[in-house]
Structure 1
């Protein structure tokens, strides 16, 4: 089985312009850009045959090539990361059994998240797309709720059926979770991890699907698959003691740097 990992990255951002090139300091104080740390996360995945950065920005291309990454230039008309992955896969040509979208703002993604995702999708008879979910503990849920009270999006949550077929994703905290949990206690809320694995036919069809109201309202690209009834599998993954967070807002830099230092990542 051949696996392509694509890391889509764009420079403009309504919440954080220039985000891919922001420096993150590790345990030794070494600064590496967000896009470099995400590329290193992709390179750590066992079974990945090729890891590329897909961008339309020369600043990102130059920075990526300087640290040794392979870059695929894409159109500035791509409306989200999935469309950028679809164009990159089309440019690189056929021959891949699974294409993985490792979003450029997820440098803390453990390699086993992606490995499990690929394994589950490749063996599933009907799913066309798969994405990981991580059960929130009480501490993570409190962080999500605090961000929403502050008017920020700390992450995306997911709900799914008993057989793990995705029902919905939201930037709100769903399902509604009244009450309190101890910091280390499991909660009924699942954090959607910003990674996707696609069967090539599903990825190729995505840019041709009309954008629906749910994708527009939430600003979540994966809802296009759900609105057009393409089956998506939610794969529950284990943190194994690792902390996970995406860089969505400038305030997340300090949080991610603290996690890098706690893990001893340079």
Structure 2
């Protein structure tokens, strides 16, 4: 299985400008993401960026990177741009979020395994059991409903299903909710098709790109993870990340 990991990394961020170059305990965030991705079963790990500063930095620490158009509307488009520049065949392409410095190699490997198990797999992503009320009702943590085969039926920023017969404090005791972890894998031909789709009504309503794919009839297979993740979006997230790194050093 030839799997290529591509990490989209934009410099612009309204809440944390220059986010990929944020220092996290002596290494930038993008370097930590690359190093974690290299531990997975990937033949290549490539950064796709719209900024010369990020490109230069990645090349300086020995990474591989491509400069992509600054006009791409999504990370998916940026990933496809980099894949086209690579110009090599692949069985699947893994879109690894550039703001996930604690991504675990087994999470990436779980998506690769879905394509190994069934070459007809079009798209794949990760889900994780919801454990707290805060997670369940946070609009920043999209939830996902699956069918009996583990394929996504719908993603929402609101908890689904809505449990009409129980107060919200009891929802977690009555149903096994799953949250979405934003790690995607695509067959190359499917990725090319996705970049040609216009925004959909469901996507615009929820601000979730994956709904565009579902609305157009694509199938998203899921794998479950229990590993904790911490995406970095705000200065407060940086503080939490530094705390996690400090704790891991003490435990080592």
Q: TM-score of the superposition, structure 1-length normalised?
A: 0.84
| Residues 53 and 238 of structure 1, relative CA distance in 2, 3 Å threshold | same
| Residues 128 and 237 of structure 1, relative CA distance in 2, 3 Å threshold | same
Paired residue for 1:259, among 234, 240, 244? 244
In structure 2, runs of 5+ residues without a counterpart are none
Paired residue for 1:61, among 49, 55, 60? 55
Counterpart CA distance in 1 for 2:171 and 2:234 is: 26
- Offset, 1:257: 2.2
Within the alignment, does 1:142 sit opposite 2:127 as a pair?
Answer: no
Partner of 1:8: 8
Are the counterparts in 1 of residues 95 and 185 from structure 2 also a CA contact under 8 Å? Answer: yes
| Residues 253 and 175 of structure 1, relative CA distance in 2, 3 Å threshold | farther
| Residues 186 and 257 of structure 1, relative CA distance in 2, 3 Å threshold | farther
In structure 1, runs of 5+ residues without a counterpart are 26-30
- Offset, 1:219: 2.5
- Offset, 1:126: 4.0
- Offset, 1:143: 4.9
Matches within 5 A, 1:91-240: 91-124=85-118, 126-138=120-132, 141-143=133-135, 145=137, 148=139, 153=140, 155-176=141-162, 178-179=168-169, 188-239=176-227
Are the counterparts in 2 of residues 161 and 167 from structure 1 also a CA contact under 8 Å? Answer: yes
Counterpart CA distance in 2 for 1:226 and 1:23 is: 37
| Number of residue-to-residue matches in the alignment | 247
Are the counterparts in 2 of residues 175 and 188 from structure 1 also a CA contact under 8 Å? Answer: no
Counterpart CA distance in 2 for 1:181 and 1:37 is: 37
| Residues 186 and 68 of structure 1, relative CA distance in 2, 3 Å threshold | farther
| Residues 49 and 235 of structure 1, relative CA distance in 2, 3 Å threshold | same
| Residues 211 and 18 of structure 1, relative CA distance in 2, 3 Å threshold | same
Partner of 1:28: none
Counterpart CA distance in 1 for 2:175 and 2:234 is: 24
Within the alignment, does 1:246 sit opposite 2:231 as a pair?
Answer: yes
Structure 1 residue runs of 4+, over 6 Å off? none
Counterpart CA distance in 2 for 1:186 and 1:263 is: 35
| Residues 258 and 156 of structure 1, relative CA distance in 2, 3 Å threshold | farther
Within the alignment, does 1:81 sit opposite 2:67 as a pair?
Answer: no
Q: TM-score of the superposition, structure 2-length normalised?
A: 0.88
